[in-house]
């Protein structure tokens, strides 16, 4: 192992630009903000068709950025929260495309739900929770002690942090 890190994925830069860290998004500005996020999410979705592993990493970066941005958004209408919920669902679908272990995916979703009261779709009600759980096909729900042992956000990178996988171009 050489210890060298590959360059950041160019779409990570688009994610960061769309999230506009450090600037407050008021309720009057959220349509343009969400439109920009949606365009980047569509780019990530197109990547998933030919490189699902890369798309999983991009979605994890996107989700991490959204969690960081949450305090800078007036989400009184719930639109940003619904966008994040859709990203979670896209992450599940993309992990399935990448052949990821369903039990690991389910454990990570449950860990997110246990760890984060505000940003995780659990705060959006039982419909969102059901969508997330039903998306993880073939997964067994781990018993409570295993859930507590899962490190929430494992494998996530912060915006601008380079990936240590060589698959991103």
Reported as a single tens digit per residue, the pLDDT across 52-68 is: 999 999 999 999 999 89
Distance of CA 153 to the CA centre of its chain: 9
The encoded tokens of residue 36 equal: 């920009």
Helices 52-69/10-19 angle, 10° precision: 20
What confidence category does residue 98 fall into, taking pLDDT thresholds of 50, 70 and 90? very high
- Note the pLDDT of residue 109: 83
pLDDT in tens, 121-138: 444 444 454 555 555 555
User: pLDDT-derived band of residue 157, with 50, 70 and 90 as boundaries?
Assistant: very low
Interior angle at CA 59, CA 74 and CA 109, nearest 5: 85
Helices then strands, counting H and E runs in the chain, come out as: 7, 0
Taking the mean position of all CA atoms in its chain, how far away is CA 14?
15
User: What is the per-residue burial (b if ≥16 Cβ within 10 Å, else e) of 98-127?
Assistant: bebebebbbbbbbbbbeebeebbbbbbeee
């Amino acid at each position: 192992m050489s210890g060298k890190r590959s360059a950041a994925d160019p779409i990570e830069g688009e994610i960061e630009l769309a999230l506009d860290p450090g600037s407050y998004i008021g309720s009057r500005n959220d349509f343009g903000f969400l439109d920009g996020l949606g365009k980047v999410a569509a780019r990530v979705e197109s990547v998933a068709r030919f490189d699902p592993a890369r798309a999983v990493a991009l979605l994890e970066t996107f989700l991490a950025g959204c969690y960081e941005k949450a305090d800078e958004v007036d989400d009184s209408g719930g639109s940003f929260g619904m966008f994040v919920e859709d990203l979670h669902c896209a992450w599940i679908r993309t992990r399935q495309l990448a052949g990821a272990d369903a039990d690991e995916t389910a454990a990570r979703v449950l860990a997110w739900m246990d760890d984060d009261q505000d940003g995780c779709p659990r705060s959006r009600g039982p419909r969102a929770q059901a969508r997330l759980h039903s998306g993880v096909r073939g997964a067994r729900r781990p018993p409570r002690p295993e859930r507590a042992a899962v490190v929430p956000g494992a494998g996530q990178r912060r915006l601008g942090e380079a990936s240590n996988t060589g698959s991103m171009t």
